[in-house]
Structure 1
Amino acid sequence: MKITVHRGMEQIGGNVIEISTDKTKILLDAGLELETLEDKEVIKTEDVAETELDLEKLLSENDFSAIFISHYHADHVGLLSLAKNLPSVYMGKLAYDIFKATEEYKNNIVNFIPARYFYDGKPIVVGDIRVMPVFADHSACDAYSFIIEAENKTVVYTGDFRGNGRKNFSSYLNKMPQNVDAVICEGTNAGKDGVNLKEVELENKMADVMENANQVFVLMSALNIDRVVTVYKAANKVKRIMLQDVYMSMVTDLCGNNIPNPRTFNNVYSFTSKGMDEEEYSKYFACYGNKKMGEKLIADKKFVMCVRSSFKNYLQKLNSIKPLSGSVLIYSMWDGYKKQKIIKDFLDFVQSIGMEIVDIHTSGHADCNDLERFLEKINPEHIIPVHTVNTEWFVKKYGEEKVVRDKIFIV
């Protein structure tokens, strides 16, 4: 079995990894580089840099039988929106539904339907390669790791994973094989000090902040479903309604009745931060009936509103109806995003109208303790670090002979 990392070593995101035998070739993930995503809240096809990996060319030069997508984050699936002639694509059902809906919301075209949806523990065989999806805890829901078997070898691909979310990490570890030939392992947090806070700890911290604030805003990703649940539970503790814009409402609605959404949760409402034409209104907003709220009604409620960095004008409008001084913005994303101009400008604005910014966040990626637990369980002969800028952590921990730095490796 040959492993070719077309992209993903010594960088965060943008994974494009090939697994091949003499008979079969597959790709694991097809992500955009994070640099492509900088300073753009909504990524459109025309925004993508010319320097991006040419997936179309890669596909045309190789006879790939399939692409397996671990989850719906753009740095793992975004290249699929740029290629027209795709082989069979496999991904989770909910992951595809969210990917398709969010791309179409941005007026991007999704030009594929998965050949088959995969589910936890249900193997898919392509040629002489067997892929077993394993449900993983990540900030994206319906995320998977893969156990790959071919030519009497076993390789694990982690995708993105963590142990501090609302899923049972021990259950995940118990599904993993032992003494594998190699692991393609994400290491976003490799070498970083500290232990990730658990989502339930964030819930309590948020509730404490929400208790005495005027109004509460949470700057977060609409695709972080665990965080949506955390914010809802915190708001519920302090008896505030939760407000989701139409984009987040669309995503949570897709996730089913157990995830806080305006359609089925009494104290969750939908709002729109911008004007909508008749088609948009009918497609994204009208469906919520009396669970829609306009600015004047919102201003009279005690609320927790999930926002994005493009909401400056909307918050100005709310502030003109009823001053937002004494309110709190909970920043619940990766701290590195604060360097981006669109985020920095938004944070400067909310402070200018008298709002306090409080950081309450935890990573969607495994901390060092959970990386060590995972690697101890599978006991790999070789480790191929990806999705990391700290390969040296793996080398110091596991030795130069075990850690693979080459982009092409024969198992």
Structure 2
Amino acid sequence: MNLVVHRGTHQIGGCVTELRTSTTRIVIDMGCPLPGPEGAAPEATLSLSGVTAPGEPCDGVFFTHNHGDHMGQIGSVLPEVPLFLGETARDVALTLYHRLARRDTDGRAPILAALERANTFHPGVPLTVGDLRITPLLVDHSAFDAYMFLIEGGGLRILHTGDFRNHGPRGKALYPVLRRYVGQVDWLICEGTTLSRSSQPMMTERELGRRAQAILRKHQHVFVLCSSTNIDRIAVLTHSTPRRRPVVCDGYQKEILNRVELRNGNQSPFYRFGRVIPYSSRNTKLQNWMADQGFLMFVRANDRFRQLMEPYRNDCVVLYSMWSGYLDGPCANPDLTQFLDGFPVIRLHTSGHAERETLREVCRILQPRRGIIPIHGELPELFRSLAPSCQVTCLKDGEMLTL
């Protein structure tokens, strides 16, 4: 079996990984790079023979989750190539891109068409594609319904981790799932996002909720700026809000939450969002409730929400619950900075990625016989210190490795 990481060996995001046997060819993720300085995303479109352009047929593209740096190029995949992603991930992505298409019909149409034709899979249920057996394993990440893939074929067992963590609401299942359903593998293709960042322990989503509770006790009018698809964050903040206080969002956000609840609410009350109310200036009962008890309102950085926030400028806080890089440094978004200008901001965020000790433990549990292949990280060589007993193969983009 051969492997090529077309993009993602020395960068965070934009991942594209190909595996092929003599008869079968699959790709895992077709992502766009994250924005660079001044919002630039160079080489966003990756031309791949048989996948985005005519060439040797591809038997399927599998998506670990629906973040743009993993799924952003789904619209460029040829219509004859089968697509696979999780059920809820597809639902959420369809809701998002239907909304975006209202403002940019031509640019979003290929993405919507791809999502509409995509196949879905279920956690733990193997799929057979050619001579490969692919088992999706549900993991905790800041994108809801994210997966690792266990790939078996040609006498090899390979685990592709996608993005994952163990400090979120479902993170405690990580190690038991790896021990029970994976065990030792031949190769581990592993994300290493946090290796170029601070080595301090990650704040858990539970601790984030406790801090939010303290903020909500102190402030009556609380706006939250977070990703509309970060379902765990929205759930944590919703459950952290006093029961007497309304939790408010717009209709689009509520539609996403309804879709998540439809497929997951019966499994856990954590993903029931009945108390989240769509905002309407015509809803007199809601307006009176907000005036009497205060509120937690989920917002996005646009003029409509800015107008809603203006009357509370001197009597509110904004919880900024996104990556700090969007505000600081070379990736800072000036529109976001302008949106928050003049408002008191409290940063309350934690990563969607595994910290170093979690990466170390995953390597220890899986003990890959042949080696570790780092992806989705800027310092792949640091895996050697995390797993000194394992061979670590640091590839270059486009380099082929015979497994």
Give the corresponding residue for 2:47. 54
Partners of 1:292 and 1:2 in 2: CA distance: 62
Matched, 1:99 2:104: no
Aligned letter for 1:340?
A: N
Identity, in percent, stands at 30
TM-score (norm 1): 0.84
Shift of 1:36: 7.7
Secondary structure at the counterpart of residue 255 of structure 1: helix
Structure 2 portions without partners, runs of 5+? 102-107
Check the 8 A contact 2:24/2:130 in 1, yes or no: yes
**1:269 aligned to which of 277, 297, 301:** 277
Give the corresponding residue for 1:8. 8
Deviates more, 1:29-38 or 1:127-136: 29-38
Give the corresponding residue for 1:359. 347
TM-superposition CA deviations, 1:234-285 (whole Å, max 9, x none): 1136x321111222112111101538999961x3211279xxxxxxxxxxxx
Distance 1:36 1:106, change over 3 A: farther
CA RMSD of aligned residues (A): 2.9
**2:222 aligned to which of 216, 222, 233:** 216
Shift of 1:8: 1.1
Shift of 1:346: 2.0
Aligned letter for 2:26?
A: I
Give the corresponding residue for 1:345. 338
Give the corresponding residue for 2:76. 82
Check the 8 A contact 1:31/1:74 in 2, yes or no: yes
Partners of 2:181 and 2:195 in 1: CA distance: 21
> Residues 8-407 of structure 1 correspond to what in structure 2 (within 5 A)?
8-35=8-35, 39=39, 52-55=45-48, 58-59=51-52, 60-107=54-101, 108-109=108-109, 110-112=112-114, 113-114=116-117, 116-167=119-170, 168=172, 169-190=174-195, 192-236=198-242, 239-256=244-261, 258=265, 265=274, 267-271=275-279, 298=290, 301-310=293-302, 312-320=303-311, 323-338=312-327, 339-347=332-340, 349=341, 352=342, 355-380=343-368, 381-399=370-388, 402-406=391-395, 407=399
Check the 8 A contact 1:16/1:28 in 2, yes or no: yes
TM-superposition CA deviations, 1:292-314 (whole Å, max 9, x none): 967x875565101111222x453
TM-score (norm 2): 0.85
Secondary structure at the counterpart of residue 236 of structure 1: coil
Check the 8 A contact 1:17/1:29 in 2, yes or no: yes
Partners of 2:37 and 2:163 in 1: CA distance: 18
Partners of 1:292 and 1:365 in 2: CA distance: 41
Structure 1 portions without partners, runs of 5+? 41-47, 274-288
Partners of 1:209 and 1:232 in 2: CA distance: 13
Partners of 1:263 and 1:159 in 2: CA distance: 26
Give the corresponding residue for 1:45. none
Secondary structure at the counterpart of residue 111 of structure 1: helix
Partners of 2:240 and 2:338 in 1: CA distance: 27
Partners of 1:140 and 1:269 in 2: CA distance: 22
Aligned letter for 1:314?
A: F
Partners of 1:291 and 1:91 in 2: CA distance: 41
Deviates more, 1:50-59 or 1:222-231: 50-59
Check the 8 A contact 1:90/1:114 in 2, yes or no: no
